[in-house]
């Protein structure tokens, strides 16, 4: 077995040449590594944006309800208020069977939570990431409000029971109606200012047309049972 000893370097020029080869090799390796890393994050950002846009499309579509159903909601709550004062359980039951003047459902923000957890913000344009942040902050606010909507609607609808309530129960029911009114106004403002308007301006996303048609049908049916003119 022969062991080849390294050849001694002859002069500074040969030494510099050997070092240069090593340095160039290291630099090439670093550049390739950075290129692969950059391509990896570009792919992750693209995938994240697909999911973010899908969730925003859903939330913006769902948020459209508060504008389309506004005439229905106003007339509906006025009627409940009148029925509670008169103890008209029959009419409240009729409204209960129709359903609430808003859509039940869940707001989507899983893609945003995943993007934050995976540090997508470090690899995407800052202004664009901030736009997503503001939009999903609106989504989270609407989610919180929706929990109050459900609770207050349930409280107001206890008036459908035929037994006349005592003064405190009646006051609680009327207070629930007023909270519903204020919450729906807040949700309408948040939907417009934080989701629908910026969604179109910044991302080119608008509410789904089919869902919009469904909402208009519900608004018309709601006004019809309340004996209100169509708007």
- pLDDT at position 58 is 96
Rounded mean pLDDT of 5-29?
A: 65
What is the Cα–Cα distance from 25 to 17, expressed in whole angstroms? 12
**Rounded to 5 degrees, what angle do the CA atoms 44, 45, 46 make?**
90
Rounded mean pLDDT of 115-119?
A: 88
Q: Looking at the predicted structure, is the pLDDT value of residue 10 above 60?
A: no
What is the Cα–Cα distance from 60 to 127, expressed in whole angstroms? 20
Q: Is residue 2 part of a domain?
A: no
| Phi/psi of residue 178, nearest 5 degrees | -65, -40
Tell me the percentage of the chain whose pLDDT exceeds 70. Answer: 85
Q: Is residue 4 part of a domain?
A: no
Q: Is residue 112 part of a domain?
A: yes
- pLDDT at position 196 is 95
Q: Is residue 105 part of a domain?
A: yes
CB atoms within 10 A of CB 189: 11
Q: Is residue 121 part of a domain?
A: yes
Helix ranges (H only) for the chain are 12-63, 65-68, 70-86, 89-98, 110-117, 126-156, 167-190, 197-203, 209-225
- pLDDT at position 5 is 53
Q: Is residue 45 part of a domain?
A: yes
Q: Is residue 211 part of a domain?
A: yes
- pLDDT at position 123 is 82
- pLDDT at position 45 is 85
- Going by pLDDT thresholds of 50, 70 and 90, the confidence category of residue 8 is low
Q: How far is CA 209 from CA 36, 71, 215, in A?
A: 41, 19, 10
For residue 176, give its domain range.
12-225
| Number of compact structural domains in the chain | 1
87, 218, 104: which is closest to 163 by C-alpha? 87
Q: Is residue 53 part of a domain?
A: yes
- Going by pLDDT thresholds of 50, 70 and 90, the confidence category of residue 2 is low
Convert the pLDDT of each residue in 118-142 to its tens digit: 888 888 888 999 999 999 999 999 9
* Lowest-pLDDT range of 33-37, 162-166, 181-185: 33-37
């Amino acid at each position: 077995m022969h062991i080849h000893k390294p050849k001694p370097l002859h002069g500074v020029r040969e030494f510099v040449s050997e070092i240069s080869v090593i340095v160039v090799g290291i630099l090439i390796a670093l550049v390739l590594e950075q290129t692969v890393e950059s391509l990896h994050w570009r792919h992750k950002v693209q995938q994240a944006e697909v999911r973010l846009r899908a969730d925003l499309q859903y939330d913006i579509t769902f948020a459209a309800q508060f504008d389309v159903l506004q005439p229905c909601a106003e007339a509906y709550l006025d009627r409940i208020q009148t029925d509670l004062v008169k103890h008209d359980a029959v009419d409240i039951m009729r409204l209960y069977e129709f359903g609430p003047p808003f859509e039940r459902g869940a707001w989507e923000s899983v893609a945003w939570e995943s993007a934050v957890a995976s540090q997508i913000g470090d690899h995407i344009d800052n202004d664009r990431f901030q736009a997503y942040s503001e939009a999903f902050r609106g989504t989270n606010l609407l989610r919180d409000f929706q929990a109050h909507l459900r609770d207050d609607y349930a409280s107001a609808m206890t008036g459908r029971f035929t037994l006349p309530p005592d003064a405190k129960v009646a006051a609680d029911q009327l207070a629930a109606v007023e909270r519903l009114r204020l919450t729906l106004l807040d949700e309408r403002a948040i939907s417009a200012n934080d989701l629908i308007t910026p969604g179109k301006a910044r991302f080119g996303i608008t509410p789904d047309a089919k869902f919009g048609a469904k909402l208009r049908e519900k608004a018309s049916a709601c006004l019809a049972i309340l004996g209100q003119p169509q708007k």
